[in-house]
Amino acid sequence: MIKFFRKIRQGLVTENRFRKYLFYAVGEIVLVMIGILLALQVNNWNELRKKEEAENSGLRGSFSF
């Protein structure tokens, strides 16, 4: 996959298509940012789930009959 993008990038640079290369570069940056934001969101969900499980297990232990 990386070779595929490298070929596109090199082809655009060698053909002096700066505008298309700039558009490609901005698109690649946006995709990376989306990936990072998704990873952060999944991490936040996981931390919230762990916190809720800890609170629930603490409540169950204090009300034993």
Is 13 among the domain residues?
yes
Domain that holds residue 50: 2-60
Is 50 among the domain residues?
yes
pLDDT score of 48: 94
The single-letter DSSP state of residue 64 is -
Residues 6+ apart with CB under 8 A from 21: 9, 12, 13
Cβ atoms 8, 24 nearer than 8 A: yes
Q: Reduce the DSSP state of residue 54 to 3 states and report it.
A: helix
Is 38 among the domain residues?
yes
For residues 27 and 21, give the distance between their C-alpha atoms in angstroms, rounded to a whole number. Answer: 10
Is 54 among the domain residues?
yes
pTM: 0.60
Work out how many domains the chain is built from and give that number: 1
pLDDT score of 18: 79
Is 18 among the domain residues?
yes
Is 36 among the domain residues?
yes
pLDDT score of 60: 64
Is 65 among the domain residues?
no
Residues of the chain with pLDDT under 70: 1, 59-65
Tokens read off for 39: 């990873």
